[in-house]
Amino acid sequence: MLKILLYGSTQERKILEDALQKPLREKNISFNIHYLSNPQQLMKNYLLNSSYRLIVACLDCSTSYVIKDGCMPVSHIVTGTMSFPPTPEEIDERLMRNPELASFYSHGEYTVTHRGLTHKIPYEEIDYLQSDNKKTIIHLTNGDTEIIQKGIGKVNAEINRKYFAKCCIGVIVNTRNIYEIHRLEKSSRIIELKSGAKVIMTEGYFKKFTDAYSMSVSKLADLKTLDD
């Protein structure tokens, strides 16, 4: 759930809300909008509050925005301005395409069937997939696991590879849940996921990974690469 704070007069907030609702729904982003008109409270209680990932405000006849990461305390902030009211093109380019909001998109789901029972796992809840002989272990962001009675090759063919990448033999990682990539040694790196889980990425897969993402809009969106 994306928590949004709208700042301005009652009329200004209504204009901002009307401008934001359609693109948010088109992206299938679940959101909750809060309202504020007190500038002292904005600076004191909300600007660095990590639970409000997006702040949009009408200031001096323009639209200002603040996008924050989900860390506590906040460690990364993106700011910018748009016209007032913001145009659909501005909202798409400045907000909807911003990597910090990518994790809120509904990217799809993986269907699991076991003993006649079927349930769906949203992609955003999957950290990585791991081969286990002829089975596949799905590691979830909450620390739980799901065991699939299929080999990882078959699971790999069923998932949307737009959101997953191989990081070493037998392991496929959810790229949207990557937080940092650290160099481990010359031939490998450690992927740290937003949940705190860690997996190994070998250098060959890392090169393919960066080459693929450097050609996309995201430009390695949602991750930091640290050469320790």
pLDDT tens per residue, range 162-209: 788 899 999 999 988 888 888 888 788 999 998 999 999 998 888 888
Which domains does the chain show, CATH number per domain?
Answer: 2-104 (3.40.50), 109-226 (2.40.50.1020)
The span from the CA of 201 to the CA of 80, in Å, is 34
Q: Are strands 224-226 and 178-185 parallel, antiparallel or unpaired?
A: parallel
3-51 tens-digit pLDDT:
899 999 999 999 999 999 998 888 778 788 999 999 888 888 888 777 8
The span from the CA of 128 to the CA of 137, in Å, is 8
56, 64 contact by CB (below 8 A): yes
130-158 tens-digit pLDDT:
999 999 999 999 999 999 999 999 998 88
pTM: 0.54
pLDDT of residue 216: 43
Q: Does pLDDT of 119 surpass 60?
A: yes
C-alpha closest to that of 96 among 49, 51, 43, 31: 31
**Measured CA distances, 84 to 9, 56, 58, 169 (Å):** 13, 11, 7, 50
148, 155 contact by CB (below 8 A): yes
